[in-house]
Amino acid sequence: MPVYQIQIKNKNVENRMMSVTLLQALLSVLIEGSKGALRLRTEGRSMMRGAPPQWIKTATQFSIAFQENQLEVESLPLLEVVPELFEKSGLFPELNPEWTSLDYFQESLTSAILTLKLSQHHKMGNSRMVDSIYDSPLLYAFQRFRYVFNQGAALIHFVNGKGLQITPESVTAFKELEANLPPPTKVKVAGKLQAIRMSDRTFRLSTAQHQQVIKGIVKPLIQKAAQALLSKDVLVSGLAYFTSNGKILRIEADHVLMAGEDELASYGKLPSFLSVLEPKKPDPKPLIKEVPQEPQIIQTQVKTTPQTSGNNDEMVQWRERFS
């Protein structure tokens, strides 16, 4: 039965008491971060509108003990928490049933910290060698450590695993890392539809070229239509989300249609953030030198219209929920 030790260093070293609000804030980060880490691996996103699946709620129910500025958190392996999902069904091949939800939380937290360290070492602002196991909402969840520090903590030390240490400077770094994530981009990709889960509308696609697997989320569709596409060559078009190293994290599909040979040849490669960008070609230089003319004064009126985004609305609601 895994027990995780988390040491809390107070700003006031002479104060042996610990604020209940501080512990509440820390537990909130652990619980919501663990939920997000599980959803990211199974759905390709750590947050979406509505409550998480019941099994994730069950997997993030912890028992705690506290003494001498050290919090002990007991978290059960997924196989023990929800055996009906992990014994034989193979419903979540992305997860190791022997791991706990806190294992996945710490793995994502470690990934973010390693990305930051490598970025600082190379002074490039990016990391091409670290797998980014986080997205924007999960990084925001990590930023909620600021509430722990606001209540008097100076350092949070995860004794188990990699021995992670979180400081107020870490919160600022998480915010910068979130700001540097590549923006979502429209893509098309073709390949074989390997699987689709009706419970959360997630699917796995194997690209026509190199058979690389992509996760995605499709709009609501009836089961009969989903079964007709399963194991078939399809063309997926939608909005792609990327990790900090430019790898595709998921596609939120607008359309999943049967694909022909032309689509498989044109869109069969795995998209990456750099590959989907299409830089403008420079205009060719004129062969005849142009005579400069006096610029004309043209009066224009610019009409601006506010843009709305469903994803942005979800993010605002998610942040208001935990602020």
Alpha helices of the chain — where are they, by DSSP H? 20-43, 54-59, 78-81, 83-86, 101-122, 136-143, 145-150, 168-179, 223-229, 261-266, 273-276, 310-322
pLDDT for res 160: 87
For residues 291-304, b (16+ Cβ closer than 10 Å) or e, as one string?
Answer: eeeeeeeeeeeeee
Contact by Cβ (8 Å): 177, 111: no
Q: For the chain, list residues with pLDDT below 50.
A: 124-129, 278-310
Q: How far apart are CA 68 and CA 101, in angstroms?
A: 25
pLDDT for res 284: 44
Beta bridge partners of 190: 235
Domains and CATH numbers, the chain: 3-181 (no CATH), 185-276 (2.40.50.140)
* 205 closest CA partner among 197, 220, 215: 215
> pTM of the prediction?
0.79
Q: Which two tokens stand for residue 72?
A: 């002990």
